Amino acid sequence: MKISDTIKSNSVAIIGMSKNAGKTTVLNTIIGEQAHRVLGITSIGRDGESIDVATGTKKPAIYVNSGTIIATAKDLLSVCDITKEILDTTGILTPLGEVIITKAMSSGNIQIAGPSTVEGMQTVCEQLIEYGVELILIDGAINRKSFSVPSLCKEVILCSGASLDNSMHKVVNETFYTAKLLTLKQSHEFEFALNHPSESKYVIFLDCGVSETDSLLAYANCISKTKHRNGIKALQINGAITDSVISPIIENGLRNIGIIGLDSSKFLLSSQSFDNLCALGCTLQPKHEMELIALTVNPYSATGASFNQQKFMEELSKKILPLNIPIFDVQEGTHVF
C-alpha cells in the first residue's frame, strides 16, 4: 500500500512532530506517487529553520515535477531551481515577502513559506484550486508548543521520529498522545455548545444560562463557585487550551462536561491533564474535526542516536492499535496497519 492511497480528499496537511521527523521525505514520496496529478504545494508559515533553509544548507528540499503549482514567499523564489511561470500575487505578506503563486515549467527543488494565518491559507487554497490543482499538499509545522494546522484542511499525516527524543518510549508515548488529540471527534450531546457562536475567550454553559468572559480569573472563579459546580454542562474555549485552562476543571472535580475548542491545534494541554480529564469523564470536542489518515516514522535521529527500525515500528503500532491508523516508514518502504 502506498502512503498516498490513504488520501481521500483534495488537501492534506503533513505535520512533523519535530524537526528532522522526515516530513520532507514523506512529501517527496507522495509527490512521486502522485506524479500523474496536478499538485499544489504550500506551507503553513515557516518553522524555525528559515535562515538555514534560505542558504539551502541543512534541510532537504522538496522536489516537484513540471506542472506543479506552488505558493511560496517571494524571497524564496530565487532558491527554487524550477523554471518558473509567475501566475499571480496574493497580497498575503509573510516575513519572507508576499506569497506568490508560481507554476513549475520544469522539475526541480523548491523551498516553501506560505501564509501563516487561517484566512491566508483559505485564500491560497482557493486560488490553487482555481488554477487547476487536484491535490494540495500543505507542509505544516509543529513544535513542542503547538500545532499549526488550518481548520479547513481535514486530512492530516503525522510524521514522527527519533529526533523527537532520545528515549524511544517517550517518542512512542508523545506520538500516541498527539495522534489521540488529532483524532478526537465531536459528540452530539454537546451540539448546543459546539454551535454556539461567541467572540469571548471562555464560555461557560450552565443549567441556568450562558456566562461569557475574556478573563482567565473570572472563568476560574465561575467554575469554583459552589452553586455552579453541579450546574456546568459544557465549556467553550476560544483560544489555546492549556494546562492553566484545564486545572480549574480538575481542581473542582467537574464531571462529564464537554470542552469545546476550535480544532486539535488548540489542544495544548499535557497528557497528564488529558488523563485527569478522562478520569472525570470529561471530553475535548473540536469544532473542526481532523482526520488522521497516516503516521510516518523516521528511526534516524539528526543527533546520531537512532532507533532500531523494527523495534520502533513494533512499539508504536502496539500503542497506536486502538486508533487504527496505518504507520509508514517511507524510507524503507514498509508499513504496518
Partner 1 sequence: MFFNHKESESIGLEYIKNSLSCRTPYGRALIRALKPNNNKHIAELIDELDNITLAIDLLKNQADNVSKLENFFSQIRDIKRSIESIPENVLDSVALFEIKRFLLLLQHIVSSVERLNVQFIRIVIPPCIDALNLINPDKSNAASFHISDVYSKKLSTIRKHKHEIEASILSAKTEQVIEQLKIERLKIVEAEFDEELKIRQYLSEELAEHKEEILLAIHSIGRLDFILQKARLAILHNAVKPVIASDDVLEFDSMRNPYFNSILKAKKRNFVPISIALQPGTTVITGANMGGKSMAIKTLALNVSLAMCGFFVFADKAILPIIEHICLIAQDYESVSSGLSSFGGEILKLKHELKHINAHSLMLFDEFAKGTNPEEGAQIVRALVKFLNTQKAFSVIATHYNGATIHAKKHYRVAGLKAFFDKGFEGNSDNGLEVIASNMDYGLYEAPTNSDCPTEAKYISRFLLQGEEVLEYILNETD
**Interface ranges with partner 1 (CB under 8 A):** 74, 77-78, 81, 83-89, 98, 100, 103, 105-108
- Shortest Å, Cβ 129 to partner 1: 17
Give the integer Cα–Cα distance in Å for 166 and 188: 41
- Shortest Å, Cβ 319 to partner 1: 33
Give the integer Cα–Cα distance in Å for 296 and 18: 12
- Between helix 271-279 and helix 243-251 the angle, nearest 10°, is 30
Closer Cβ to partner 1, 107 or 123, answer by number: 107
CA distances from 330 to 32, 129, 333 (A): 12, 28, 5
Residue with cell 503500532: 317
- Shortest Å, Cβ 313 to partner 1: 23
* C-alpha Rg value of the chain to the nearest Å: 21
Closer Cβ to partner 1, 108 or 299, answer by number: 108
For 148, the grid coordinates are 499549526
Long-range (24+ apart) CB contacts under 8 A made by 207-213 are 207/231, 207/233
Residues 6+ apart with CB under 8 A from 99: 42, 71, 72, 73, 74, 89, 90, 92, 93, 114, 115, 120, 124
- Shortest Å, Cβ 74 to partner 1: 6
- Shortest Å, Cβ 123 to partner 1: 16
Closer Cβ to partner 1, 100 or 269, answer by number: 100
- Shortest Å, Cβ 333 to partner 1: 14
Closer Cβ to partner 1, 263 or 329, answer by number: 329
Closer Cβ to partner 1, 106 or 334, answer by number: 106
Produce one character per residue of 32-67: b if its CB has 16 or more CB atoms within 10 Å, e if not: eebeebbbbbbbbbbbeebeebbeeeebebbbbbeb
- Shortest Å, Cβ 126 to partner 1: 17
Give the integer Cα–Cα distance in Å for 120 and 114: 9
Closer Cβ to partner 1, 106 or 310, answer by number: 106
Q: Indicate the SS3 state at residue 125.
A: helix
Closer Cβ to partner 1, 130 or 275, answer by number: 130
